Amino acid sequence: MRVNTGGLGVVERPTQQPLEIARVADMLQAFKDEHPDLSLWLEPGRFLVARASVLVSQVTQIKHKQGVVYIGIGTGFNSLIRPTLYGAYHHIVNLTRLPNREGPFVHAEIVGPICETGDVFGHARRVHESAEGDVLLIATTGAYGRSMSSHYNLRDPAEEVWV
């Protein structure tokens, strides 16, 4: 018998708690002890690499339209398509304003430059009030960020830098 249940959980939102890997190991050992005749295979999913990279981009424009704040950044969904493709959530922070933990904050649409409806990294995100030239960080892009990137609309994906 084969059962597919998805991979191990990855913290995406600030309110989520991380997976307790020691607890998972204990549960797996208990299962193995109780069922020595079964073979258990585990698919870690994004757990191993999601936090291995981030997408960093500069704010290129701020727009206010019908009461909505739009923060435009220099790269688009060709660099990270997960939010567009299946509504994946990636935490977004303004690195330039990070030392000021008190704010001011805004709720904004974080959008790319491709001028398509789906070129959105986050809807109604609470981020520090931003200005052109600020640097935003989009977290947990290590799994499928680069591998799903493309040259859509003849745009180069974000440059990959290894540290």
Residue 13: which of 57, 50, 60 has the closest Cα?
A: 50
Contacts of 99 (CB under 8 A, 6+ apart): none
**Residues assigned a catalytic role:** 115
- 39 contacts 121 by C-beta, under 8 angstroms: no
Instruction: Beginning with the edge strand found earlier in the chain, give each strand of the sheet holding 55-65 in spatial order.
Output: 92-94, 135-138, 55-65, 68-73, 105-111, 120-128
